[in-house]
Chain A
Amino acid sequence: MKKLLEGSQAIAQVVNLCRPGVISAYPITPQTHIVEDLAKIAADGEASFEFVRTESEFAAASVILGASATGVRAYSATTSQGLLLMTEVIYNIAGMNLPVVLTCANRAVSAPINIWNDQQDAYSVRDAGWIMFFANDIQEAVDLHILAFKVAESVGLPVMVNMDGFYLTHTVGEVDIPDQKLVDKFLKKQSRDLGSFLDVKNPKTFGYLATPKEYQDMRMQLDAKIKKAKNQEIKKAMQEFEKVFGRKLSLTREYKLKDAKTVFVSTGSIFGTTREAVDLLRLKGKKVGICNLNLLRPFPDDEIVKKLKGTKKIIVLNRAISLGTEGILTTEIKKALYGKHKIEIQDEIIGLGGRDIRVEELVNLV
């Protein structure tokens, strides 16, 4: 059903439709509206999930870890300092192959303290073993959450859905919130393999100690698992999503890419602004396009190579920087293209800490 909703409200509603068993979160701007709305849904008796209030994000992440270990669907939401405080648990959840879903309402990190949007938070935990999606708009954020539970449970790994703080969490737009029946049809009831969760009838030890003899093999298995997910579980879930909901989700989101000689590459809601810049540049006769990434981990190397074939130049609009080198996405793109195409790569750091990204600014980059 189409509704006029604030982004956060839409996320809270769709998360509830996914029938999680346990939700735990701690308030932090700009994620607050999501947890407030979820708490209200629970308070109004419209939810079946257990809502656990904690004293920190670190505890909230630990709560969903424990909940997921009992075999139930578990969810949390955070941002920025909250995500960084969670970091130790974030790695732990992935290492334990727990299929939790977390929303990151992307925000800058301290210091200086800044509550506005960039994506330094999520990019800083990209090595943890989580599948990481980025939404271009509110509808995509809604859809990616439904997809996230499916992917998490079919792969057996955690999924983070990233949506730009304020730009997507605090703006109001027309959103199609699917019917409960369709969500139920798509997600089905979670069933975990016997022995993969805490069960007194089948006692197993989780979070064991691995010696140098086993540790590397286990970590490499995790790497293989997340890599394999791109062409298998993620693509399959996206195909099924389209069948059930009639909307397309893909690994990249393009705009006028086909004949483009210069291509903007980025992640997140900057897509909308870039699209306007492309339209202006096209009026001037410049062949410009966009290839935004919806997936940061596993990294869609093959897709990048394919999509950017024939391009002369790409401008990477980084919303996160690896201090001491360059924009993090730039490095990722370079790695994907290495030895594949001869393309000029322009590294741009843009819109850190909520600095306005203006259309003219993007136009001038070309």
Chain B
Amino acid sequence: MLQKYKKPTLFYPGHNACSGCGQNLTARHVINTLGPNTIVVGATGCLEVTTTKFGESAWGVPYIHSLFENSAAVATGILAGLSFKNKNLGATLSKVSRYDQREYPQVGPRASLPNVVVLAGDGATFDIGFGLLAGMFERGDNILYVCFDNEGYQNTGAQASGSSTLGADTTTTPSGKDSTGDDKMKKNMIAFAVSQGVPYVATSTAAYPKDVEEKIKKALEFQGPKYIQILVPCIPGWGIETNKTVEVARLAATTGFYPVLEIINGVVTKVLKTPDQKPKIEEYLKLQDRYKHLFKSEEGKAVIKRLQKICDANVEVYGLCPTCEEHEILMQYKL
């Protein structure tokens, strides 16, 4: 079975994610980029459930799942354990203090010490584990935190999370006579991470595996906490065709709705430009059942207009259009 894969993988086939799953597809790219010298902390969620059934683990690296909300703190504990074990080996560890907030030097890849990486969904990150993630940021722990963002509690049947978007029809924000779906804005975790002095913050989507790989590699060059948030379409939760994962994930970026960014030490250093003919938000929405009610009422159409405004604002703020002038965007107040 394994021989049919030309390249060796650290994410073995046979897990039971849905066909077309954006998360497990991206997770494979992430883990194969990280390589074997990596310890993964997984939060409860689809990725964990589909890959860790007793006796059938898909992971080729050491993997630990504790609870839904505590991955960031478990990762800190692992890092502390490794620091203790490698006291004599790891001069780098003590020299570059995990607790020093102001200096996050770019030290380049370190071969000897394992990468400690959290792989968590948006429910675990935006909502239930938010406090613990904030604690990890504050401590300045040398951990890469990757959030696979599928904009809801998809594992439990597509309930709304703090990451769900305006207008999304979820099982806890259903559309109806008096409802156009979720009436809340998506929580801005990127701005939060930047505000906490996280030296490397980036976004991407499942449509850009090369971009994901580059960002993972780049992130590892930084000491301190790193936060990468990747939009990963959910087939049943979003109500999309199994062959539309990449298309939907691409439209999320090209419409400007989910800007693909890289922010280093509070400065936006790289953005994915929108095409000359920027697709309208409707192009993105119409492929997904979670937004289909918006096309059926005046109130819904008003929501679509608001969503378009979000896209346009992103284009302006981050300079996403091809002709937009490159300009430095300072997201963080510098001391």
A and B: interacting chains: yes
Q: Give the interface of A toward B (CB within 8 A).
A: 21-22, 24, 48-50, 52-56, 58-60, 62-72, 74, 88-89, 92, 96, 198-200, 202-211, 214
A53 CB to nearest B CB, Å: 7
Q: Are A208 and B52 in contact (CB under 8 A)?
A: yes
A-contact bits for B285-326, CB 8 A (1 contact / 0 none)? 000000000000000000000000000000000000000000
List residues of chain A with CB within 8 A of the CB of B65.
206-208
Instruction: List, in ascending order, chain B residues with CB within 8 A of A199's CB.
Output: 62
Cβ contacts under 8 Å, A69 to chain B: 64, 74, 77-78, 81
Tell me whether B53 is interfacial, beta carbon within 8 Å: yes
**By the criterion CB–CB under 8 Å, are A70 and B82 in contact?**
yes
Contact A207 B78 (CB under 8 A): no
The B199-250 residues at the A interface (CB cut-off 8 A) are none
Contact of B81 among A67, A88, A200, A208 (CB under 8 A): A67
- The answer for the CA separation of A49 and B77 in the assembled complex, in Å, is 12
| Residue in B49, B61, B135 whose CB lies within 8 Å of A54 | B135
| CA distance in complex: A69, B85 (Å) | 12
A72 and B63 contacting across the interface, CB-CB below 8 Å = no
- When distances are taken between beta carbons in the complex, the residues of chain B under 8 Å from A49 are 84
Chain A residues with Cβ under 8 A from B82's Cβ?
70
B83 x A50 contact (CB < 8 A) = yes
B81 close to A22 (CB less than 8 A): yes
Q: Which residues of B contact A54 (CB under 8 A)?
A: 73, 76, 135, 139
Q: Which 3 A-B pairs have the closest CB atoms?
A: A66-B77, A70-B81, A62-B73
**What distance in Å separates the Cβ of A147 from its nearest Cβ neighbour in chain B?**
23
B48 at the interface (CB under 8 A from A): yes
A171 to B84, CA, bound (A): 33
Q: Known: A50-B80, A69-B77, A70-B82. Is A89-B67 also a contact (CB below 8 A)? A: yes
Task: Establish whether residues A66 and B67, one from each chain, have CB atoms under 8 Å apart when the complex forms.
Answer: no
List of A residues within 8 angstroms of B30 by Cβ:
none
Q: For chain B, residues 68 to 98, give those with C-beta under 8 angstroms from any C-beta of chain A.
A: 69-70, 72-85, 87
Stretch at the interface among B31-39, B177-185, B188-196: B31-39
30 contacts between A and B (CB under 8 A): A21-B85, A22-B81, A24-B76, A48-B84, A50-B83, A54-B76, A55-B138, A56-B132, A58-B132, A59-B72, A59-B132, A62-B73, A62-B76, A69-B81, A71-B85, A88-B67, A89-B67, A96-B66, A198-B64, A200-B36, A203-B60, A203-B62, A205-B52, A206-B62, A207-B65, A207-B66, A208-B52, A208-B54, A209-B52, A211-B54
In the complex, are the beta carbons of B54 and A210 less than 8 A apart? yes
B135 CB, min distance to chain A CBs, angstroms: 4
Per a CB cutoff under 8 Å, which of A59, A198, A204 touches B70? A59
- A237 to B64: give the CA distance in the assembly, Å: 30
Instruction: Return chain A residues, CB-CB under 8 Å to B20.
Output: none
A55 engages B85 (CB within 8 Å): no
How far does the Cβ of A342 sit from chain B's closest Cβ, in whole Å?
A: 47
Residues of B within 8 A of A (CB): 36-39, 41-42, 48-49, 52-54, 57, 59-67, 69-70, 72-85, 87, 114, 131-132, 134-135, 138-139
Q: Evaluate contact between A24 and B52: CB separation under 8 angstroms.
A: no
Among candidates B48, B81, B138, residue contacting A68 with C-beta atoms closer than 8 Å? B81
B289 to chain A minimum Cβ distance, whole angstroms, is 28
Which among B42, B48, B81 is the interface contact of A72 at CB below 8 angstroms?
Answer: B81
Asked if residues A55 and B37 are in contact (CB atoms below 8 Å), the reply is no
A209's contact among B54, B67, B78, B87, by CB below 8 Å, is which? B54
Nearest residue, chain A, Cβ from B138: A55
B63 contacts across to A, CB distance below 8 A: 203-206
Q: Contact: B67 with A55, CB < 8 Å?
A: no
Q: How far is the CA of A313 from the CA of B52 in the complex (A)?
A: 53
**B79 (CB) vs chain A CBs: closest residue:** A66
Cβ A22 vs Cβ B77 within 8 A: yes
Provide the residues of chain B in CB contact with A66, threshold 8 Å. 41, 64, 66, 73-81
CA of A69 to CA of B54, assembled, Å: 18
> A57 to nearest B CB, angstroms?
11
Q: Which of B52, B70, B139 touches A89 (beta carbons < 8 Å)?
A: B70
Which residues of chain A are within 8 angstroms of B131 by Cβ–Cβ distance? 55-56, 59
Nearest A residue (CB) for B75: A66
Task: Report B-chain residues with C-beta under 8 Å of the C-beta of A71.
Answer: 81, 85
Shortest Cβ distance from B87 into A: residue: A48
For A56, what are the chain B residues with a Cβ–Cβ distance below 8 Å? Answer: 131-132, 135
Which B residue sits closest to A55, measured CB to CB?
B135
Q: Are A52 and B75 in contact (CB under 8 A)?
A: no
A205 CA / B62 CA spacing, docked (Å): 6
A62 and B54 contacting across the interface, CB-CB below 8 Å? no
Q: Report chain A residues within 8 Å CB of B74.
A: 62-63, 65-66, 69
Given contacts A200-B61, A200-B62, A205-B59, contact A63 B54 (CB under 8 A): no
Chain B residues positioned under 8 Å from A74 (CB to CB): 77, 81
